[in-house]
Amino acid sequence: MLGVMGRVIAPDLGLANEVIFSGLSIMMLVSALAGPATGRLLARHGAANVMAVASVIFAAGLLLLSAAQELFVYGLAWVVIGVGGALGLSAPAYTAVVEREGLGGKRVIAILMLFTGLSATVFWPVLAAVNDLVGWRLTFILCAALQIFVCLPLYLFGLPKPAENQEHAAAAETAPVAFTEPERRKAFFLVAAATAISSFVSFGLAPSLLALLRAAGASPALALQLGSARGAIGVSARFVDMVLGRRGNALVTSVVGTSMTLVSFLVVLLVTSSTSLLVVFILLYSFGTGVLAVARALLPLSLFSAREFGLQSARLSLPQNLANAAAPVIFTAILDRLGATAALATGAVLSAISLALVLMLVALVRTAHARTTIPSSPKPHLG
């Protein structure tokens, strides 16, 4: 919402734009710290109940925003919204799907991500229109009302009940990969590190993408066109995962997405800049980061059991949200102080590290599969 409302709020509160936008960093930091506790709540109470509580907390945070007159209340509102984000956004939403679909929930998660990818396209013009009609304070009050009167009833009464039959329960306990305990810990570390780094790159470059394109030689008009195309290309990548559904493989998707992101940076670094080159960059970068957004959501479902999906996803949100909180500040500082080449090189190095981690994860999964598929030697016949 700050994409539309941030520069409207700032003069009314007498605060600088960067202070207003730091609300997002506060939200990410609080959501990150609340992630592990969210995982335990999901395992104990189920996603619907946790998301219902999140709606109430979101409404409280939005009402605080609407009442803010100075920095303290404004910052407190984002702390509250950060708690709501931990309880009501990505990990709990995907957990709600997995509770009902089990390991077959990949396609539904991809459909869900397709809609969330389009959310800004729908709500930015709506927020702008409502703000023009009634002002930003009443706009936030109306948003709080949406949480209470639309989202809360949907979570409590609209969601189908989780499947409870014995077959579903047995499948929920079965992990797709039969890791040993040391392999399991190593797999979690590799997923956490790879997804945090890829999230750092995509989230860090997003607010600076137009400036990066201009620094790389694009005119202001071309930079705006390419930056606008990024969202549509990223959503199309999510559509591919939706079409693949159960046939999709999050490990393969991770390798492909990270490789495309890495190549996009290398192309701009190693080839003389031109309009066609920048178009190639935005195609590779946007599709790669779009694919990775889906892979980050599906990787826990490809490695761990459906029963523990919510716990593992919430645990993984801690490093990802910490990375997201720091990334825009770090990438903006690199771009402003060291230039576009340094920013692109940073993206390339981090993407290469992320790719290496994903390939290590692929090797670990192959080792586990090989161990479980080797037939045991027949016992000698003694009779």
Note the pLDDT tens digit of each residue in 174-200: 666 777 888 888 988 999 999 999 989
Q: CA 347, CA 324: separation in Å to the nearest integer?
A: 14
28 pLDDT more than 90: no
Q: CATH for 175-373? A: 1.20.1250.20
Q: CATH for 2-170? A: 1.20.1250.20
Q: What percent of the chain has pLDDT over 70?
A: 89
pTM of the model: 0.73
Q: CA 281, CA 340: separation in Å to the nearest integer?
A: 14
Give the pLDDT of residue 263: 93
Determine the Cα angle at 154 with ends 48 and 246, to 5°.
65
At residue 313, the 3 state secondary structure works out as: helix
**Per-domain boundaries in the chain:** 2-170, 175-373
> H-type helices in the chain, by residue range?
2-13, 17-45, 47-67, 71-88, 90-101, 106-117, 119-134, 136-146, 152-153, 166-173, 181-205, 209-215, 220-244, 250-270, 275-303, 309-338, 340-373
Give the pLDDT of residue 135: 92
Q: CA 325, CA 35: separation in Å to the nearest integer?
A: 14
Give the pLDDT of residue 373: 66
Please tell me if the domain spanning 2-170 has the same topology as the one spanning 175-373: yes
Q: What percent of the chain has pLDDT over 90?
A: 27
Q: Which of 231, 18, 33, 209 is nearest to 119 (CA)?
A: 231
* Torsions phi, psi for 186 (to 5 deg): -65, -40
Residue 377 banded pLDDT, cuts 50, 70, 90: very low
118 pLDDT more than 70: yes
